[in-house]
Chains A and B, each alone.
Chain A
Amino acid sequence: MRSTSLLDILGETDYSPGHSRRVTLATTTELLQGTLDLLILKAISLGPLHGYGVLLRIQQISGDKLQIQQGSLYPALYRLEHQGLIESEWGESDNRRKAKFYSLTISGQRRLRAEVNYWGRLSDAINLALAAVPGDL
């Protein structure tokens, strides 16, 4: 067992064995609200998940580069549910415990497609702008 320091606990070290040290690109506070929603929708689109599962999946599909304060997930989930983009249902988790599972609705799928589209165009535009050299002017 490795000795742990306070900094390690609060810092960016992951305790799953075998994983390399992850570099955080953004924390929840830096992520815009819309971006978090987009990630949640994407995560749930890959299959119904409970809250903890959404967290793990986002970490998984982002290559552990995004750190999300775990509790902040839930208000985002409730907001998406309020807007009718995801729906919830109580079910059983892997270890046979009661958990609330979220799945994408039709309008959620539509929103995901639209947002991904928008994100792509936005990032293209910004990338283009950032690639400008003095010679282009």
Chain B
Amino acid sequence: MTTKLRSFLSALVNGRRLEREMEEEWRFHLDERVGALMASGVSRREAQQIARVEFGDPLRWKEEGREARGLRLIHELRSDVQYALRQMGRAKAATLVIMATLALAIGANTAIFTLVDAVMLKPLPVPHPEELKQLVWIARRSGFHATYNGSARSNAAGERVATSFSYPVITNLRDHATTLSDVFCFDEPQQLTVVHDGAAQLVDGQFVSGNYFRGLRVNAILGRTLGDADDKPGAPAVGVISHRFWRRAFAEAPDVVGRRITVNGAPVSIVGVLPPSFFGVLPGTRPDVVLALAAQSAFDASTPPDALTRADRWGFQVMARMKPGETVGRAEAEAEALIRQAIVAYAPAAAYDPPRIVLDPGDRGLANLRREYSNPLGILMGMVGVVLLIACANIAGLLIVRASAREREIGMRIALGAGRWRVIRQLVTESVVLAVGGGCLGFAITYGIRHLLPVFVTEGSSTVELDMAVDVRILLFTAGTCLATGLACGLLPALRATNLDVASLIGRTLTGTLTSASRRWTGKVLVTTQVAFSLMLLVGAGLFVRTLLNLRSEALGFKPDGLLIFRVNPSQSGYAAARWNDFYERAVERIATVPGVRTVSLSRYAVLAGGSTRDGIGVLGSESKPVGTYIHYVAPQYFETMGIPIRLGRDITWQDREQSRHVVVVNEALARTLFGTAQPIGQWVIHPNEKVADAMEIIGVAADAKFSDVRRPAPPTIYEPYVKQPQRLMTFAVRTAGDPEGLSGSIRNAIAAVDPSVPLFDFWSQRTQIDLAIRQERLFANLVSGFGLLALLLACLGIYGTLSYSVARRTPEIGLRMALGASRHDVIGLVLRESAGPVAVGVGMGVAGVALTARLIQTMLFGVTHYDLSTLLAALAVLVVSALGAAWLPSARASRVEPMLALRQE
């Protein structure tokens, strides 16, 4: 068989040369024969004639020769494609419209698939990613940890499924596992303040174990990565930087190794630069600075110094490489035994179930992103698929009309002996060529905008970093979509066009008096499909738009207008912890003097920025379980600045300093949960694990306000004085008399007057912050509305086109009717009725489709249910009015037909 393949490929490549050789061979043959004939006494002319007759038809031998080499199909395809291109050139306008529509539809599909690929399918850019596994523990009672940092969820059986482990447990596994070759751990990426060459910026950083890079088998492109020696207590503080950080901060300077930067105020020496494709193990993030876990407490104030030695502090995620040849079952069993053994060794006080250990596949990194974004991505993929189907139905309708104009050509081909499937193959090739053309255009557009795509999976104001490089899967998807689209568009018209009664075609005119019912039926089905899908998209658009409007108008509990916010971090400017509060106070004093500023205050987090601290809170002396609460560290006048009314008691004042009593304000939700209707003022509350001396007195109750998320109702919140815990980062909130942005210059100057070396981050109005928080909803609303309008446009064009064509074919009939006494209104009604049927059926199918699929988007909706009737009715109204409008023009044209002219057309 290989000889056949080789021969086929060589024939493919050397096509022209082989043809020339064939001709040369045959010329030789003919010359020899002529010579032989002439030698027997025949004249040259006669001999040549005889030889040619004996030889036969060269064209036929060429075809058979091609067939002998397996080239016939290729040759036919090639000539089909050339013919298709000529046809396209002849009808430039139609070709352009079709290709533009396909470019949009296929491009949208490719764009969303690129996202799906980047989030869900792409393996980590490390050697042998299939060996990587992520450790997961499952237990009903998890008393083996005293503190837990990381993600956790409940499964269907009510057990806790979580991914963070404690360091001693991990080292026990690492040192004794035989089925796993490298067990490495890391903390979640976090923001760090990095100062280099005097410039400060917030970057994403990560703390990892010493064998992290060894386990991933990643090498630095400059210098070295971290090793076990760097992950020892007391080791010199070294770090590795990402390629992006190297490019942006150091302009790819070759001498970056050995340079010193400051991270959160402490010095770090750079030892290496990571490859550009490497982003860590959590898709969506790209840490710019990677440091050793052992040093974390020196850089991060929230990490205690014993973070790595406490066995009951579970906070590090673990991945491992499975040794080749080992099975997952064996590795899981061994890991489970070792981890349970480690837990028993430190004998946790609380009740617990020995955890089950599961090894999740780690070839595509941690599953967090995939799980979070699988829903919005699925919805997007479904919608662009529907848009493509509408486009296909639309173009199929167009191609049917065009094919009917070629009836005589097709009839001729069939009469001359072409098989029906051969003609169908040629027609389908034409539509595939169109689809490929449109697809290439669409792909080019997607390629151009690919770096803008991650915004679709960005929730709130966070940033998602994805590797948007084009890989084989995306190319295959695009090619497959083009092919499928070409087939979908072209098969139906081709089947219909070749279903001809050839004999009756010869001599017949283009427009018959009657078109057979079956031929009109195809056009109607296509209109029905388009109407149905358009309705579904319109309803979806309506639901997303209403979600956005609901979110925008949602009562926030505070007054967002006229509020300016920004963040500062004095720690990197050399401030020690003790002096931070001093800086904040002076800054507040200074800003309060700026004209136009009403009040100014501070809080740890900006509202609706997604960040929060959570802990339990209980009444002092009470035995009841602590209530989960959100903790807001605020400065005095916070409520006045934010516009949150105080319902009972008073605000925290500047007099309530750290040395004096701990006073707090709670919101209504927390007061209700803790005390019911009883008076909360004067009560004392305490966090679990706090000393009695740290108890806090409630001095005020504030109205409920949203904290980190617009969608969720205001959670139970406690407002504690920010001076209670020194904060590295604080958000300033400034209420201004007029436009907040207008005062930004004066406020920057005010901070600079206090200390010019402290930079400001995220400087914008609260309104902008809220807009960022609902960015995804805004995007979806815009996008789906765009899709809905596009679908509506295509459906209307489809109705218009089909009806126009039908009117054109029925002109003699209409003329006859009018001659027999039909009025203009009768004709209009006649034509409109023709479209009423398909549209009505389409509406029915669309409503059914909505009923079936609308629930899939419920998780993304807010304030509106997926079965909302008013949205459905509104979409219906829009669709019916548009369809009517589209059908009106051909009907009006039909009514203006001159009977005599129409009859003469026959």
Q: Which residues of A contact B (CB under 8 A)?
A: 1, 4, 9-10, 15-17, 50-52, 55, 69-72, 74-76, 78-79, 81-84, 93, 97-100
Contact = CB atoms under 8 A, between A and B. Distances in A.
Contacts of B40: 15-17
B902 interface: no
Contacts, number: 85
Given A70-B54, A83-B4, A98 B65 contact: no
A75 B64 contact: yes
A82 B8 contact: yes
A51 B41 CA distance: 24
B15 to A, nearest CB: 13
A75 B28 CA distance: 16
Given A52-B29, A82-B69, A99-B28, A15 B61 contact: no
Contact of B26 (A10, A55, A74): A74
Contacts of B64: 72, 75
A71 B53 CA distance: 10
Interface of B: 3-4, 7-8, 11, 21-22, 24-26, 28-29, 31-33, 36-37, 40-42, 46, 50, 53-58, 60-61, 64-65, 67-70
Contacts of A79: 68
Contact of B67 (A10, A51, A75): A75
A74 B25 contact: yes
Given A9-B53, A70-B54, A100-B24, 4 more contacts: A4-B46, A55-B29, A70-B55, A75-B64
B25 A71 contact: no
Nearest to B60: A71
A98 B24 contact: yes
A55 B64 CA distance: 18
B852 to A, nearest CB: 54
A91 to B, nearest CB: 11
A74 B41 contact: no
A59 B53 CA distance: 18
Given A17-B40, A84-B4, A75 B65 contact: yes
Contact of A75 (B8, B24, B53, B68): B68
Contacts of A71: 26, 55-58, 60-61
B622 to A, nearest CB: 92
A69 B25 contact: no
Given A71-B61, A72-B61, A78-B65, A51 B29 contact: yes
A10 B53 contact: yes
Contacts of B8: 82
Contacts of B4: 82-84
Given A1-B41, A82-B69, A69 B54 contact: yes
A75 B60 CA distance: 9
10 contacts: A15-B40, A50-B25, A70-B54, A70-B55, A75-B64, A82-B8, A82-B11, A82-B68, A97-B28, A98-B24
Contacts of A98: 24, 28
Across chains A and B, which 8 residue pairs bring their CB atoms closest together, nearest first? A84-B3, A75-B64, A71-B56, A79-B68, A15-B40, A78-B68, A71-B55, A52-B32
B21 A81 contact: no
B21 A100 contact: yes
A74 B28 contact: no
Contacts of A93: 28, 32
Contact of B7 (A52, A55, A84): A84
Contact of A52 (B33, B57, B67): B33
A30 to B, nearest CB: 15
B70 A82 contact: yes
A72 B64 CA distance: 9
